């Protein structure tokens, strides 16, 4: 997480202020619950809400001495609350606060990223409809295959990020739990109803069984999910990078007036945003590994996960939030060149219709193997001509082929509408309209 690749709202979520504020709310709600159960005085709970406060600097100073962050926080809190502070944190253990707080941060981070996804989906949908019928060549292996439309490319991305959204919702649900169960999770010193009360106030589910800590398989799943979503970011970014390369140039990232592409080559307009997204995806993906290694804590818990989470908690969410927002910006303003798409497609002299001719031949009774051979011998000629020969011309002059077709039939096999006839069906599947 570095400022260059961060957005303020997500960054703020991981600030010390945010963290201590959440700690405070957990403690204060717990006091209310304890007071309702008659375990601590109602006045004490009220005093916590009324006079409770903290200062980040003061907490840091105390922690430097006691080397324990929760004790430092509680000490600072007590300085504000006064004698009633002795009722705070009663029967609780540090992890009750730390883990519940971390989960709240992850839930809020998920909410920000879900909003990012919604924005991205909206943009993809709009642009998909804009270019629903913009014919472009479909490529497999980087080689021209058959025509498709640019709208279909975007619809594919829309479908992929819709899945990303569902996955993120699942991951959010995985970590939306609250544990207040004491030193080894037995509720020895605290009533389970406190946990239920606090969970309810904070919009979380109770953690049905904890062991001082909230089990880390939940978090492993969360970060693995971010890694998968980042990989989808990489996919779309890679597509843009490919389409912007000099020889293809079917799209370009928006290039602002003041922007300089290169310190040396003034003509350069580079896909730097999507290249950047490719790198960011590598980072988000990498955080899944330590998150998985965090699962096997020793016995009821150890603290080895803590340093990992202090790093990947912010790093993974801030980076993916930034990447999703950047991708949305790229797609929103993407310069799209339909003429160039058409020109590229036409370079191959009609070869993209070869399979269609092949099928037509089999329907005329030619065996698949013979049809393949007949088409391929003409296709290879077009290929070798570097775009100067056209497949339709060659087929007309290949009597073994031409004799199978009635006049006009061969020409009809080169009609583009043939390839786009199912676009509506697919759009209906994806966008429901």
What is the set of active-site residues? 141, 262
Instruction: Compare residues 6 and 328 and give the one whose CB is closer to its own copies.
Output: 6
- Supply the minimum distance, in Å, between the C-beta of residue 214 and its own copies: 11
Q: Does 15 bind its own copies (CB under 8 A)?
A: no
List residues bridging with 191 in a β-sheet. Answer: none
30 burial class (0-12, 13-18, 19+ CB within 10 angstroms)?
buried
Q: Which of 37, 55, 268, 385 binds its own copies (CB under 8 A)?
A: 268
Q: Does 41 bind its own copies (CB under 8 A)?
A: no
- Which residues between 379 and 418 bind its own copies (CB under 8 A)? 379-380, 382-383, 386, 418
Q: Does 375 bind its own copies (CB under 8 A)?
A: yes
Q: Does 11 bind its own copies (CB under 8 A)?
A: no
Contact 133, 423 (CB under 8 A): yes
Pairing assessment for the beta strands 205-206 and 177-178 based on DSSP bridges = parallel
Instruction: Compare residues 2 and 406 and give the one whose CB is closer to its own copies.
Output: 2
Work out the angle at residue 327's Cα, subtended by the Cα atoms of residues 145 and 7, and round it to the nearest 5 degrees.
165
- Which residues between 144 and 163 bind its own copies (CB under 8 A)? 144-148, 152-153, 155-156, 159-160, 163
Q: Does 355 bind its own copies (CB under 8 A)?
A: yes
Q: Cα separation of 352 and 338, whole Å?
A: 18
- Supply the minimum distance, in Å, between the C-beta of residue 212 and its own copies: 5
Q: Cα separation of 359 and 346, whole Å?
A: 21
- Which residues between 160 and 179 bind its own copies (CB under 8 A)? 160, 163-164, 167, 170, 174
29, two tokens: 């709600």
Q: Does 333 bind its own copies (CB under 8 A)?
A: no
332 burial class (0-12, 13-18, 19+ CB within 10 angstroms)?
middle
- Supply the minimum distance, in Å, between the C-beta of residue 417 and its own copies: 10
Q: Cα separation of 324 and 281, whole Å?
A: 10
Contact 81, 47 (CB under 8 A): yes
Q: Does 21 bind its own copies (CB under 8 A)?
A: no
**How many Å is the Cα radius of gyration of the chain?**
30
Angstrom CA distances, 31 to 129, 161, 364, stand at 54, 42, 83
Q: Does 56 bind its own copies (CB under 8 A)?
A: no
- Supply the minimum distance, in Å, between the C-beta of residue 50 and its own copies: 19
- Which residues between 64 and 123 bind its own copies (CB under 8 A)? 65-68, 70-71, 74-75, 78, 83, 85-87, 89-94
Contact 152, 423 (CB under 8 A): yes
Helix 16-36 vs helix 192-201: angle between axes, to the nearest 10 degrees? 130
- Which residues between 192 and 251 bind its own copies (CB under 8 A)? 192, 206, 208-212, 215, 217-218, 220-221, 224-225, 227-228, 230-232, 234-235, 237-239, 241-242, 244-248
Q: Does 356 bind its own copies (CB under 8 A)?
A: yes
């Amino acid at each position: 997480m570095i400022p260059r690749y961060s957005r303020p709202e997500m960054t703020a979520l991981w600030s010390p202020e945010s963290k201590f504020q959440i700690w405070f709310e957990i403690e204060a709600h717990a006091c209310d619950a304890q007071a309702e159960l008659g375990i601590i005085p109602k006045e004490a709970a009220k005093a916590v809400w009324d006079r409770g406060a903290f200062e980040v600097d003061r907490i840091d100073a105390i922690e430097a001495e006691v080397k324990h962050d929760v004790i430092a926080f509680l000490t600072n809190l007590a300085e504000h609350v006064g004698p009633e502070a002795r009722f705070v944190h009663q029967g609780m253990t540090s992890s009750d606060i730390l883990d519940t707080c971390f989960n709240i941060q992850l839930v809020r981070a998920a909410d920000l990223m879900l909003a990012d996804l919604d924005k991205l989906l909206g943009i993809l949908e709009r642009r998909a409809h804009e270019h629903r019928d913009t014919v472009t060549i479909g490529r497999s292996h980087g080689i021209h295959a058959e025509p498709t439309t640019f709208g279909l490319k975007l619809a594919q991305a829309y479908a992929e990020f819709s899945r990303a959204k569902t996955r993120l919702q699942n991951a959010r649900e995985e970590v939306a739990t609250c544990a207040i169960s004491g030193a080894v999770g037995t509720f020895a010193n605290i009533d389970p109803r406190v946990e239920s009360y606090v969970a309810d106030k904070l919009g979380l589910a109770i953690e049905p069984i904890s062991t001082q800590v909230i089990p880390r398989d939940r978090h492993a799943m969360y970060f693995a999910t971010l890694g998968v979503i980042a990989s989808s970011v990489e996919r779309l970014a890679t597509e843009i990078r490919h389409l912007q390369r000099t020889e293809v140039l079917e799209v370009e990232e928006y290039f602002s007036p003041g922007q300089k592409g290169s310190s040396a080559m003034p003509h350069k307009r580079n896909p730097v945003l999507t290249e950047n997204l490719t790198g960011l995806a590598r980072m988000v993906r990498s955080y899944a590994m330590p998150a998985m290694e965090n699962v096997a804590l020793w016995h009821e818990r150890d603290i080895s996960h803590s340093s990992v989470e202090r790093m990947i908690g912010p790093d993974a969410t801030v980076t993916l939030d930034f990447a999703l927002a950047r991708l949305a910006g790229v797609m929103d303003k993407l310069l799209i060149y339909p003429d160039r798409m058409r020109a590229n497609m036409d370079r191959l002299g009609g070869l993209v219709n070869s399979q269609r001719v092949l099928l037509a031949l089999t329907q005329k009774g030619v065996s698949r193997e013979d049809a393949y051979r007949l088409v391929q011998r003409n296709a290879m000629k077009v290929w070798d001509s570097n775009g100067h020969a056209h497949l339709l011309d060659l087929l007309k002059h290949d009597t073994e082929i031409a004799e199978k077709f009635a006049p006009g039939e061969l020409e009809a096999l080169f009609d583009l509408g043939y390839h786009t006839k199912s676009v509506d069906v697919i759009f209906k599947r994806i966008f429901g309209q």
